[in-house]
Amino acid sequence: MSGTQASARPIEKVNLTEKLELFHEYWSPKIVGELNDSYVKLVKLKGEFVWHFHEHEDELFLVLKGRLLMKFHNREVRIEEGEFIIVPRGVEHLPVAEEEVHVVLLELKTTLNTGNIQNERTLRQLEKL
């Protein structure tokens, strides 16, 4: 038989609504899943972040609730509920949430939230929910 190897981790579904009730702080991504070399993260945003880029990692932002404004140096994009945007590696970006926004992030495990910038908003250890 093939395809019967035991998984290292139990296979469980994830309910995003339940996970979102477990935390309230902004700009603090939580790990809610992992696949291959990537994490699935959940984050609540409000206000403006910092301009930064990720030298080696692309970043996916999927908006669950609210509206995310992603600023680039030559344009801005509004990402509505049910939409996602992929920010390619090396591209400087500034996420802005005029009102509270809930976002799923999909990115390599090596991705640091503030990318090339290190300041008080940099988080090296993310909580797993």
Q: At its nearest, how many Å lie between Ni ion and the CB of residue 124?
A: 15
92 neighbors 116 (Cβ within 8 angstroms)? no
SS3 content of the chain, % helix, strand, coil (to 5): 5, 40, 55
Q: Give the residue ranges of DSSP H helices in the chain.
A: 16-20
Part in contact with Ni ion (CB under 5 A); list of ranges 17-25, 54-62, 68-76, 116-124: 54-62
Contact pattern for Ni ion over residues 21 through 50, marking x by CB under 5 A: ------------------------------
Q: Rounded to 5 degrees, what are φ and ψ at 69?
A: -100, 120
Number of neighbours of residue 90 by Cβ within 10 angstroms: 13
Decide whether 45 or 59 has the Cβ nearer to Ni ion: 59
Contact pattern for Ni ion over residues 57 through 86, marking x by CB under 5 A: --x---------------------------
Q: At its nearest, how many Å lie between Ni ion and the CB of residue 117?
A: 10
> Looking at beta carbons, which pairs linking 18-24 to residues 24 or more positions away fall under 8 Å?
19/129, 20/44, 20/64, 20/102, 22/129, 23/127, 23/129
63 neighbors 103 (Cβ within 8 angstroms)? yes
Q: At its nearest, how many Å lie between Ni ion and the CB of residue 6?
A: 36
Part in contact with Ni ion (CB under 5 A); list of ranges 10-18, 25-33, 51-59, 61-69: 51-59
Q: At its nearest, how many Å lie between Ni ion and the CB of residue 14?
A: 22
Contact positions toward Ni ion, by CB under 5 A?
59
